Amino acid sequence: MREKKRVDQEQVFDRLPVPSALRVMIVPAVVSQLIVLIYNMADTFYVGQTDNPYMVAGTSLILPIFNISLCLAGLAGVGGGALISRLLGENRRDEAKRAGTFSIYLGIFVAALFSAVMGIFMKPILGLLGAGENTYEYARQYALCVIVAGGIPTVLSNVLANLIRSVGRSKEAGTGIVVGGLLNIVLDPLFMFVLLPEGYEVLGAGIATCLSNCVACVYFIVVVLKMGKSSVITFSPRAGMAKKESILAIFGVGIPSAISTLLFDLDYVIIDKMMVSYHDLALAAVGIVLKVERFPLNVGIGICQGMMPLVAYNYASGNRKRMKDSIRLSRILGLLVAAVSIVLYEIFAAQFIRLFISDAQTVAMAENFLRIRVLATPLMFMSFFTVYLFQAFGKGRIALVLGVVRWLGFNIPMLFILNGIFGMYGIVWSQVAADTLTVAMSLLVYRKYRPKGQTS
């Protein structure tokens, strides 16, 4: 059994033709990313059926906080997963096992800490996010379930998914996310409209999300246990403590990943705060748009997630041609998805928005927002793609610089500048303007710091 698992991993990373290897790695990652998005949007969809824009706004306020919990998962999962793939490429299985165990317990620790902080400082945090008299109680109910009670299983599920994917088992990684997502879609209407009384729909959505993440977490634990003692992914402390260089490598990639995600969500928080200064309907409209626009973005992230272990492994093993082909094909696929999304959203913007709310004023506003925001899709993909490449190479500092400059140097300042000049629609246009500058910077940095022998 041990030999068979090693052969399977080698077939994906070493032997399968690059298009086939990318298909094996990318398809489950993309599907899981879409399911994650759908089950996040399911709450907005079902809450939107109440035609209560304050409930929609309240749940939308928690999206950045929920995404921060995912960035904590990236600290351990992305950092650990990238290192494990490189260690396997160097044929250092024992150290890969120690790195995997360290990443698992790191994820549990940071998740527990984050949930405790959110529970203790709930009121001031929600106030900073823009929760007002009409939205605070809804936001509080949702945060208690999804962040406080569900924080550890949410983070641990995503950590384990990244680690399992890093050894070539992308199908199992994707299946766990799909199971949790589909369960959430089923449980949402049950808790919202059947088990709980009218007026508690947001609480029902939160309970459904929490239970779904718990089930997904149990699934991943079972997968790891079934992989057996020969696997480099294990809960057993007997694997030993990872070497100092490995711990530094995990944080070296994981911290930039977490910071980039954190700044991404800070951007969303600032957008919410700016929009609520106009009126609550603008907040509800942009909350829906920020979710709808994530369909192509999450597909792009799935492409990057599936590509990264393959690139990391072949970078470490010295197979530059295979690495180069993986990068090129992944980039083409991501840009193609972005182009298709622009066409679909420009034509069917109103129809997409009406899936979530029927209030005519909110729909009209969100429709205009979406047609503008979608223009940034290929730019956003290229920005994420470059960061993922440097993470695969283990060049965390460069990834950190790209992420920090993107958000603190371009995106967030552009929000304030364009809001000051053009008002509400300046906020919406800021993503296109900022990511144009980001992509230009990313290409220059990549040309300078790409691995030797890499020409595209």
pLDDT digits (tens, 9 = 90+) for 374-424: 999 999 999 989 999 998 898 888 988 888 898 889 989 999 999 999 888
* Pick from 72, 391, 69: nearest CA to 252: 391
Residue type, 452: K
Share of the chain above pLDDT 90, in %: 28
CA-CA distance, 365 to 373, in Å (whole number)?
A: 13
pLDDT digits (tens, 9 = 90+) for 98-136: 998 999 999 999 999 999 999 899 888 888 877 777 788
pLDDT digits (tens, 9 = 90+) for 311-359: 998 898 888 899 999 999 999 999 999 999 999 999 998 888 887 777 7
> Which residue intervals of 190-293 are DSSP H helices?
201-227, 244-276, 280-292
User: Which pair of tokens denotes residue 366?
Assistant: 């969100």
Domain boundaries, the chain: 22-449
pLDDT for residue 26 is more than 70: yes
The reported pTM is 0.80
Distance between alpha carbon 358 and the CA centroid of its chain, in Å? 28
* pLDDT (0 to 100) of residue 244: 87
